[in-house]
Amino acid sequence: VSRAVSDVPPIHYVTKINMFSQLSKNNIVKYISSHFDAGGYKWKLAIHPNGNKNKGITDHISFYLGIVEGESPSPGWEVRATFRLFLLDQNKDNYLILQDVEEKGRRFRGTKLEWGFDRFISHDAFKNPENGYLINDTSVFGAEVYVCQEKGATKGECLSMVKDAVSYKNTWRIENYSGLKDDCVDSKVFVAADKKWKIQLYPKGKGSGTGSYVSLYLTLDKPGNLPPTSKIYAEFTLRMLDQISSKHYFRKANYWFSASNTTSGWPRFVSHAYFSTTSVGLLVQNVCLVDAEVTVHGIVKAL
């Protein structure tokens, strides 16, 4: 810590406290100043009139500079700043200045929003009227802040491929198929690789399959819960089970699923004519069995 005296007032912020003794009498263990701007960021001062109890300080005033939470805040983001904290000597009209000797400045970031001095000035020195720091129960504190380096929240992503990926299967039994009235019918939600999925079937077809085909898709359930940059690389197979000879009708694909690309499948999965042929076995006693097999091979997350 470097100590100096100057008759130049702090350029960024001053906090004047009248009736200083009333802080302790009203159990104000820490006073937080209003926010102020310096170097393009918002800051605040924290004054512990009876010392920072969390640091075991009882015989000094503790005085800190903090970056305002919400200004600093994403992981990997930081501001390196040098700063000086001031205390006015009202007798001589000059300032006691404490400055950290760390030449590169201190790193203000999400996990360390505050820097300063646990032992800014002893109670004895502060209360001694000859020093001029507390006159008529009034004191004046101040600060200067100089941002010397910024580290932005670097955007990036991490792709984690899955070794020996496991396949998850789910079978959906659709009864009274001919009685389906909705354009789209959803299966119950199932879980594969810790993600929630469902099958969507369009009895009358969708898109290019409308009117002549059954359309079948795999879709993420509640994709709004996914972070915007998250992606899931999945291999999947959709099957209609042949209930007579076990010669199942299926299609297979690979797809990057995300919050903006939630669904993949086939508008022309199977024609109505083939699907309804009794000997094919896809529709037996008005029951259709649809199977989804999902293997997640990779997941992308934001850094």
Structural domain of residue 205, as residue ranges? Answer: 157-302
Under the banding of pLDDT at 50, 70 and 90, the label for residue 228 is confident
The span from the first CA to the last CA of the chain, in angstroms, equals 36
57 Cβ contact list (under 8 Å, min separation 6): 48, 51, 118, 119
DSSP string, 240-276: E--TTT---EEEEEEEEEESS--EEEEEEEEEHHHHT
Q: Are residues 146 and 201 in the same domain?
A: no
Over residues 274-292, the pLDDT tens digits come to 999 999 999 999 999 999 9
- Phi and psi at 80, nearest 5°, equal -100, 125
- Whether the CA torsion 203, 207, 209, 210 is positive or negative: it is positive
Over residues 49-69, the pLDDT tens digits come to 999 999 999 999 999 999 987
Query: Using CA atoms, how far apart are residues 236 and 253, in angstroms rounded to an integer?
Result: 6
**Amino acid found at 17:** I
Query: Using CA atoms, how far apart are residues 65 and 84, in angstroms rounded to an integer?
Result: 9
Among the three residues 127, 151, 175, which one is the final residue of a domain in this structure?
Answer: 151
Would you state the pLDDT for residue 223?
81
Under the banding of pLDDT at 50, 70 and 90, the label for residue 303 is low
Q: Are residues 128 and 266 in the same domain?
A: no
Q: Are residues 9 and 104 in the same domain?
A: yes
CATH number of the CATH domain containing 20:
2.60.210.10
Give me the number of domains the chain comprises: 2
Res 151 pLDDT > 80: no
Query: Using CA atoms, how far apart are residues 91 and 56, in angstroms rounded to an integer?
Result: 31
In 3D space, the residue among 289, 39, 31, 62 whose CA is nearest the CA of residue 169 turns out to be: 289
This prediction's pTM? 0.53
Percent of the chain having pLDDT more than 90? 72
Query: Using CA atoms, how far apart are residues 94 and 111, in angstroms rounded to an integer?
Result: 35
